[in-house]
Amino acid sequence: MARNITASKRGFGYDPVTRSLGVYVDGALVQSYPPTPGRTYFVNNITGSSANDGLSWANAMDEVSTAITASEVYRQLGGAAPDVTTNDYVRNTITVQATGTAYAAVSALPSYCDIVGLGADPRGNGAGIAQIDGAGAADAMAGSSRGLGLYNIQCDQSGAGAYIGLDCVVLFRSRIEDCAFTNQGTSGIRIVTGGGVTIRNVICSNDTVAQITGLTLGNGATNNSHKIVDCEFFGDTNGVSFSSVAGKQTVFKNCYAYGGTYGFLD
């Protein structure tokens, strides 16, 4: 005689917070398969909010700085603790939606994190560029970092002031690619102490505000093993100022440096 047998209900589910695929039995998670311990944070200064978790476009954060704070907290906890230890270098991503409104200045940089702008090419003016604006009152981005990735971002000053587009007290093992640093009163980029930084397809220029130097390396400190490729650096005084105590194995390839006094000051 046939009889009914209670069967287990099995299925798969996706968790957007951990970005993991899970196996469920009778509604209970029995196995999880996270791809990486890192998180992706989404930023939109029109639809986002500082109260959101930033883990989807529907719950985007409002500012790059808000996402950086969240990224650093998660990274320093070791990611998906306790499964991930602090010996793992958890790498997060911050995705920044270009809008018609510039993002506020960033006063602290993340480590082991990629900041990616979604929008038009950052060379130029106008809406549609993922832009961070110091507004003539602060460096557009400033701080210390290791393992930073900066892609398709424009750092600008909408007002005159003696500030810097990307001002790094310390920067190691990082990449800056397809970015523009414009109208900075002092310098487009400054790395005081650093090493192993790749700068590719980057422009430091000005059209509305005087800019003394395009790229500044050193200020008397150490900068070693940088790889700088396919870039243009413009300054009213110096295109590039390389004044490190030690500047070994730094390579400039296919770059242009223009300054009113020196193109390249070493």
121 forms beta bridges with: none
Q: SS3 helix, strand, coil % of the chain, rounded to 5?
A: 5, 45, 50
Show the tokens assigned to 133. 């604006």
Is residue 246 assigned to a domain?
Answer: yes
What is the rounded CA–CA span in Å between residue 107 and residue 53?
20
- The SS3 of residue 81 is coil
Q: What is the mean pLDDT of each run of 10 residues along the chain (266 residues)?
A: 55 65 71 71 98 96 98 78 62 96 98 97 88 97 98 96 96 98 96 96 92 89 92 96 81 96 91
Length of the chain: 266
Query: What total number of domains does the chain contain?
Result: 1
Q: Are 86 and 78 in contact (CB under 8 A)?
A: yes
Backbone φ, ψ for residue 112 (5° rounding)? 50, 55
Kindly give the pairing relationship between strand 113-118 and strand 187-195.
unpaired
Give the span between the Cα atoms of 43 and 75, in whole angstroms.
18
DSSP state of 72: H
Q: Which residues lie closer than 8 Å to 84 by C-beta, 6 or more apart?
A: 37, 78, 90
- Tokens (6 digits) for 264: 């390249």
CA distance 83 to 111: 20
Rounded CA Rg of the chain: 22
pLDDT of res. 237: 96
Task: Check residue 125 and give its pLDDT.
Answer: 81
8 A C-beta contact, residue 153 and residue 127: no
Residue 112 within any structural domain of the chain: yes
Summarised one tens digit per residue, pLDDT across range 184-220 is 999 999 999 999 999 999 999 988 888 999 999 987 6
End-to-end Cα separation, the chain, in angstroms: 93
Would you tell me how many other CB atoms lie within 10 Å of the CB of residue 100? Answer: 11
Answer positive or negative: Cα dihedral of 190, 209, 228, 139: positive
- Whole-number pLDDT of residue 127: 80
Residue 103 covered by a domain:
yes
Q: What is the 3-state secondary structure (H, E, C) of 82-114?
A: CCCCCCCCCCEEEEEECCCCCEECECCCCCCEE
Question: What was the pLDDT predicted at 12?
Answer: 65
CATH code: domain of residue 180: 2.160.20.10
**147 in any annotated domain:** yes
Question: How high is the pLDDT of residue 28?
Answer: 76
Residue 192 domain flag: yes
Burial classification of residue 181, based on how many CB atoms lie within 10 Å of its CB (0-12 exposed, 13-18 middle, 19 or more buried): buried
182 occurs within a structural domain: yes
Cα-to-chain-centroid distance, residue 186: 21
Q: Residue 191: inside a domain, yes or no?
A: yes
Q: How far apart are CA 109 and CA 89, in angstroms?
A: 16
User: Which residue segment(s) compose the domain that 239 sits in?
Assistant: 98-265
Q: Are 106 and 68 in contact (CB under 8 A)?
A: yes
Whether residue 122 lies inside any domain: the answer is yes
Is the distance from CB of 187 to CB of 161 less than 8 angstroms? no
Count the neighbouring beta carbons within 10 Å of the beta carbon of residue 47: 14
